Amino acid sequence: MTSATKPLNPKRFEDFIRHMTALVESLGDDEPALLDAAEPLLGDLIRSDDWLPERFARPSEQSYRQYLLYCDPMQRFSVLSFVWQPGQMTPVHDHTVWGLVGVMRGEERCEEYVATGGGRLPRKSGEHALPCGAIDRVSPRIGDVHRVSNAGRGTAISIHVYGADIGTTTRHVFDESTGAVKDFVSGYNNGEQAPLLVATKAR
Ligand code: FE2
């Protein structure tokens, strides 16, 4: 990437946050309308990666990385970069809130699961490719359980938007081999690194 060779364009991300903030203020109680309006904003954001500094695009040998880029001061939404090396994948998991996933570099695959309720293992219902530029939606209303993986030979980066401070939200992972359902809180991989944008600058 890019930060060493290309000038960064922070305004692209600042504009996205400004528009997302306006959307959650006007449509925060109407999830379908909010997702319809937010999807083209995310599409514009991921059309170019010139706004994402290298420190938020850094993969790890251990696992995929999830970096917090921004959290709304009232936790109405958060924005993350997910960075995957070839072969890396999430566990089967849910979100408990609405989410949008836009692939900005490389390609990913989504395996879909249908929740069966009662703490039981979800059933796999299909899978689809997420090429660069594709955007997926999740939520308890429209389908909330999936596994995402890097489907390509290079590093993949996707930008995720969720209707909560997702790294602090208690949700669930599902172990396909044992059928176990576990609570989990994903956290973030920022370490000492602050988010790309802090709330006071966006308002
Ligand atoms: Fe997910």
Measured in Å, residue 122 CA sits from the centre of ligand 1 at: 14
CA of 146 to the centre of ligand 1 (A): 6
As a whole number of angstroms, the distance between CA 69 and CA 19 comes to 15
pTM value?
A: 0.93
pLDDT digits (tens, 9 = 90+) for 39-61: 999 999 999 999 999 999 999 99
Q: Is the pLDDT of residue 38 over 70?
A: yes
CA of 123 relative to ligand 1 center, distance in Å: 16
Residue 119: the pLDDT is 67
| Residue % of the chain over a pLDDT of 90 | 84
Could you tell me the distance, in angstroms and rounded to a whole number, from the CA of residue 52 to the centre of ligand 1? Answer: 21
Give residue 19 CA to ligand 1 midpoint distance, Å. Answer: 23
Instruction: Report how far ligand 1's centroid is from the alpha carbon of 11 (Å).
Output: 27
At 175 the pLDDT is 87
Mean pLDDT, rounded, for 10-34: 96
**pLDDT tens-digit series, residues 145-157:** 999 999 999 999 9
What CA–CA distance (Å, rounded) separates 110 from 82? 14
Compute the distance from residue 94 Cα to the ligand 1 centre, in Å: 6
How far, in Å, is the centroid of ligand 1 from the Cα of 90? 8
Other C-beta atoms closer than 10 Å to the C-beta of 101 total 23
φ, ψ dihedrals at 55, nearest 5°? -65, -20
Tell how far the Cα of 108 is from the centroid of ligand 1, in angstroms.
12
* Helix (H) / strand (E) containing 182: strand 181-184
Instruction: Name the token pair of 33.
Output: 């309308």
For residue 150, the CA-to-ligand 1 centroid distance in Å is 13
Q: What is the four-CA torsion angle of 149, 40, 21, 143, rounded to 10 degrees? A: -50
3-class DSSP assignment, residue 33? helix
165 C-alpha to center of ligand 1: Å? 14
* Cα-to-centroid distance, 92 and ligand 1 (Å): 8
H or E stretch covering 11: helix 10-27
Confidence of residue 120 (pLDDT cuts 50, 70, 90): confident
